[in-house]
Amino acid sequence: ETGVTQTPRHLVMGMTNKKSLKCEQHLGHNAMYWYKQSAKKPLELMFVYSLEERVENNSVPSRFSPECPNSSHLFLHLHTLQPEDSALYLCASSHLPSGAGGEAFFGQGTRLTVV
């Protein structure tokens, strides 16, 4: 398998549930990202991990908790979400330092619906 893989592709959860999104990259990259794509809003960067260390947290509520156990895997743990958290959650990876590139490669996303 190649590229960036996200599971599950679709998730429906209640506001009191706890669930996790998983991302795995097979590109040998050392940085991973979570982005949120909501209807009619630009893509929002949520978290950045570089060499398994969180280097950015863009004012994301604590009900979203990321985890990066190694450079190939990234999780987003979800707890006590709100309906407005329903969105497409995209994982991406890239290589740092960026050198002449700087591009990120994305997974297919997890479509999350909070009911």
Partner 1 sequence: GNSVTQMEGPVTLSEEAFLTINCTYTATGYPSLFWYVQYPGEGLQLLLKATKADDKGSNKGFEATYRKETTSFHLEKGSVQVSDSAVYFCALSEKDGNNRLAFGKGNQVVVIP
Q: Which spans of this chain sit near partner 1 (rule: CB under 8 A)?
A: 4, 6, 31, 33, 35, 41-43, 45, 48, 50, 55-56, 90, 92, 94-96, 98-109
Instruction: Specify the amino acid at residue 17.
Output: N
Q: How far apart are CA 115 and CA 100, in angstroms?
A: 44
Q: How far is the CB of 54 from partner 1 (least distance, A)?
A: 11
- Decide: 4 and 25 in contact? Cβ < 8 Å: yes
What pairing do the DSSP bridges indicate for beta strands 110-114 and 10-13? parallel
Is residue 84 exposed (0-12), middle (13-18) or buried (19+ Cβ within 10 Å)? exposed
Whichever of 69 and 97 has its CB closer to partner 1, that residue is 97
Q: How far is the CB of 1 from partner 1 (least distance, A)?
A: 15
Q: How far is the CB of 36 from partner 1 (least distance, A)?
A: 11
Whichever of 16 and 97 has its CB closer to partner 1, that residue is 97
* Residues in a beta bridge with 111: 10, 88
Q: How far apart are CA 109 and CA 6, in angstroms?
A: 6
Whichever of 38 and 82 has its CB closer to partner 1, that residue is 38
Whichever of 31 and 81 has its CB closer to partner 1, that residue is 31
Q: How far is the CB of 100 from partner 1 (least distance, A)?
A: 5
